[in-house]
Amino acid sequence: MTNLKSHFFATLLPLLLLLHFPTVSFAQTLFVFGDSLYDPGNKQFLSQKRVDASFPPYGVTVGQATGRWSDGSIVPDYLADFMGIPHISPILQTTADFSHGANFAVADATVLGSPPETMTLSQQVSKFSENKNKWTNQTCSVAIYLFYIGSDDYLNYAKNNPSPSDDEKQAFVDQVITTIESQIKVVYGAGGRKFALQNLPPLGCLPSVKQASGDVQECVQLPSEMAALHNKKLLQLMVKLSRELNGFQYSFYDFFSSIQNRVIKSKTYTFETGIAACCGTGSLNGTGCSVDSVCTKPEEYIFFDGKHLTQEANLHVGHLMWGADPEVIGPNNLRELMVLPLDITAILADIQEAMAAMRPKQRKIESLYDIKKMESEMENHWLYHVNEASSFMI
């Protein structure tokens, strides 16, 4: 019944938007910030060394390496497809067309500080500010701002701090979240209003992490626990900003559960395995992806190499971010976020009236936007992952 309600709402919302706002415009601009999961090729413009993603077998499914850390397309590519716009070019490709936005994500990026030849989140946001004159104020206000970053912060922390106390873990997560908050506020100050965030996966289940631990059967607890703590705080931040910043709208995708489910029950989700990577060496193909160590059917794997998803897995993520129900993404999916007016107060009143007229005994539509209720439910969801860290084990 929940899925039917969500489907009904997703169908009704665009219609009511059009009725209430006959000139409502669909977002046609996408700005992307993050690390290698979102990098469309920026790394090759920064590094003086060989960038593996610029050479085969990366890109094998699409016929050529493009600087993307996958056998083919990545999540921002699919979201651009669904929006009906061209794939968003890397900002460092100076000759590219940026009329529909820009991608600032780069491999090895972190929130709190990165190794050489990459850009931290704050540097990516600064690059956006430097290039803001490429787009009108109106374009920036209705654009989608897509974020995924933090994996390397926690993987590095877990590697360097194998037995942190609870207070130490919480303090580090707070540092990461505080920095993310400051950078989102910079984008908001530049006119951004629509933010889409993909949270972190159970990092201890990455083939590279499990292989390094020497236990190929069980996911590593600390990185996954850190990711769950981060995700809880990140959701709390989104709720807080939606209350404090006028016009702030967001979409929060539960990447953690999506990957955890597919690792545990890979065949349920059409994959042959969620344990080993398609490309690499070692017990789980966790490192050393090369043309001599790549599988013949990447679409059967969740992970292409030790850290990154296959094109097929990226397609799953793209579809979930675009149109999944509130159990996976909320309070809006990307399809809904794209068409929401910057001031939705009036339209919410109309939706409430329409739903009450059609289904008077159903719960009122404002409950779908009940942030306090969502905060409580989602916090309990993440708290479950934190308290049941053993459930990460395969």
Bridge partners (DSSP) of residue 281 are 287
Q: Report the alpha-carbon distance of residue 374 to residue 378 in Å, rounded.
A: 6
Q: Are 73 and 311 in contact (CB under 8 A)?
A: yes
Q: How far is CA 119 from CA 35, 171, 273, 294, 344, in A?
A: 9, 23, 33, 29, 35
Buried b / exposed e over 171-186, threshold 16 CB at 10 Å, is ebbeebbebbbebbbe
Largest separation between any pair of C-alpha atoms in the chain: 64
- Token readout for 257 is 């559960």
Q: Report the alpha-carbon distance of residue 224 to residue 200 in Å, rounded.
A: 9
Q: Report the alpha-carbon distance of residue 67 to residue 42 in Å, rounded.
A: 7
Q: Are 301 and 271 in contact (CB under 8 A)?
A: yes
The CA-to-CA distance between both ends of the chain, in Å, stands at 31
* Selected catalytic residue, list 87, 230, 308, 385: 308
> Does the annotation mark 308 as catalytic?
yes
Q: Are 230 and 147 in contact (CB under 8 A)?
A: no
Query: Which residues are known to be catalytic?
Result: 308
